[in-house]
Amino acid sequence: MAELSSLTNKALERLRGFADGNGLSPEAIQIIESDEKVITVEGLIRLEPQFDVQTRTYPGNVKGKDRLMHPGLAVMQQEVTVQRENFMKSKDWLPAAIKELETAPGHGWGMHEAKITLADKEYVLAATENCPICGGRGNLMCTQCQGRSTIICTYCHGQREESCYNCFGRGEDPVNPQQPCPICRGTRFAPCRYCKATGNLPCPACGGHGSTPCADCKGMGRFTQELAVSSRAKINFQIKSNPNLPSGFLRSLDRLGVANLPKSHADIVLNVPDPNNEKDPPNTLPITATLPYADIKLRLNEKTVQIASFGKRGILSGVPPFLDEALAPALEHLEQAAKGIASLDASLEARALRDALKLQLDGKRQPNDLRRLYPIGLSPNTAQRIMLRMEQALRRTTLHTRTSAAILCFLLSALVFSGVLLTSAHAQLAKVFPISVMLMIDILLPALAAGLSWAAITHSARWVLQRHYPGLPVKMSQKIGKLGHGTLAAILAIYVLLYLIASGKFSF
């Protein structure tokens, strides 16, 4: 393989590239010896048929298109059972499944329990039958009225008359007690107003129809059942054990992940068995991953270390954090800059710190952002220290400008507040605007001053960084910190004080 001859050289170039400009001479990294080889990892893919059926039942006739209609549910269920048995016993699906594997990335390597959908094996069966509950009528006899459509009047209890509503059952005319009631004519009873003297009312449950819609078929009298059939092939992947594989290779493989080998790390070959050879199981496919590997012994800054280079992309493993020691002097200068003792520029001779500066100015402040540039040779703790101290050093760089901006914002705010509150301007406004508007003005004035001050402090820091590093784009936005919050608190405090003085509630 072409990668075999250059694998060690790629590892050396990469390590020297990380060392260059970071306090360690590239020549301090030397190859002592290297054992390169091509390793083949063997695996097996076993394809298992899967016959899935999803059932859907809904009232009414069939709604979807392209359904395979059947005369009844029993016939449809019987056909699905036969199709399941035929599919599980047959091997006709194997060629289509193998074709999908051959065109898939990695040919199925590492795709354990993945499923291959066979497009020509997916279809929907449907059958429509009369509802067995209502017999296809769509309704059932009302249980409250027993199909009679009416119930006994709940007001007269079927007597067809009620106590006279004019004389309240006394039989006398309320206006002239000596005369009989004109409504009931002295009988004390009048025809029932609710059932119109029939003794019956329409059934409230069925609305007087004598029947109610069938709950099972929603009053349609029929229901449809659909069976969505999906025939698939399930991939069962496993690696053949090989005790002869180097331990360093196994550690590298475990770190990368077996399923990631097809991602430009190894050449994957799927071996399709001969269908005429009865000795080979037709659903078991050998698959191999071939990749370069090198055990490398090198001298790293007068220390002998053993590392490994893995795969076509030359992933390195076992590399110690050699940049931590090399960057120690620059990191010490950076910590002094973060404390305000030294200049930040003195620590930027190291390339890793310049990269950290660019990341910070670009608004990327996480240690992992630096670790992406230095995935080997730099420990997570050192990357975290560099990013933290770089952020603190940048805040030190902008401290004087932010302080000046904060003082200026406070003085301007106090001047504006005095001009509004301690002169006749506020009283004149109170004569023009109603109390609700004046209350809004009194709230918005300090809020506007605080907002403008926050923006001025933030942009002053960005302006300083743009002038200090003219060749780098500055996207970051520094937090206003204690200085900014103190300034905002002072602005609100001076406003409250001047407001109390203007309103006569406070005096010196």
What pLDDT shows up at residue 409?
94
Say how far residue 348 (Cα) sits from the centre of its chain: 39
pLDDT bracket for residue 135 (50, 70, 90): confident
Cα distance between residue 39 and residue 73, in whole Å: 57
Of the pLDDT bands very low, low, confident and very high (cuts 50, 70, 90), residue 3 is: very low
Residue 502's pLDDT is 80
pLDDT at 403 exceeding the cut of 90: yes
pLDDT band at 216 (very low <50, low <70, confident <90, very high): confident
Residue 276 has pLDDT above 70, yes or no: no
Give ∠ CA 264-267-269 in degrees, rounded to 5.
135
pLDDT tens for each residue of 472-486: 888 888 888 888 899
Q: What is the mean pLDDT of the chain?
A: 89
Question: What's the pLDDT tens digit per position in 48-63?
Answer: 999 999 999 999 999 8
440, pLDDT greater than 70: yes
**Which pLDDT belongs to residue 272?**
85
pTM for the model stands at 0.67
Confidence category of residue 275, pLDDT binned at 50, 70, 90: low
Average pLDDT over residues 322-326: 94
Give the pLDDT band (50/70/90) at residue 507: low
Buried b (16+ CB within 10 A) or exposed e, 160-175: bbbebeebeeeebbee
Q: What is the pLDDT of residues 236-251, one digit of tens each?
A: 999 998 888 888 898 8
Does 4 have pLDDT greater than 50? no
162-211: per-residue pLDDT in tens? Answer: 999 888 888 898 888 889 999 888 899 999 989 999 999 999 988 888 89
Model confidence at 471: pLDDT above 90: no
Q: Which of 34-48, 342-356, 466-480, 482-496 comes out lowest in average pLDDT?
A: 466-480
Distance (Å, rounded) from C-alpha 462 to C-alpha 484? 14
Cα 263 off chain centre by: 25
Rounded CA-CA distance 416/410 in Å is 10
Task: Kindly state the average pLDDT of the residues 334-356.
Answer: 91
Q: Taking 90 as the threshold, does the pLDDT of residue 77 lie above it?
A: yes
Q: Give the side-chain half-sphere CA count within 13 A for 359.
A: 25
Whether the CB-CB separation of 475 and 394 falls below 8 Å is answered with: no
Helix, strand or coil, per DSSP, at residue 281: coil
Whether the per-residue pLDDT at 1 is higher than 70: the answer is: no
pLDDT at 92: 86
Closest CA to 494 of 437, 433, 431, 411: 411
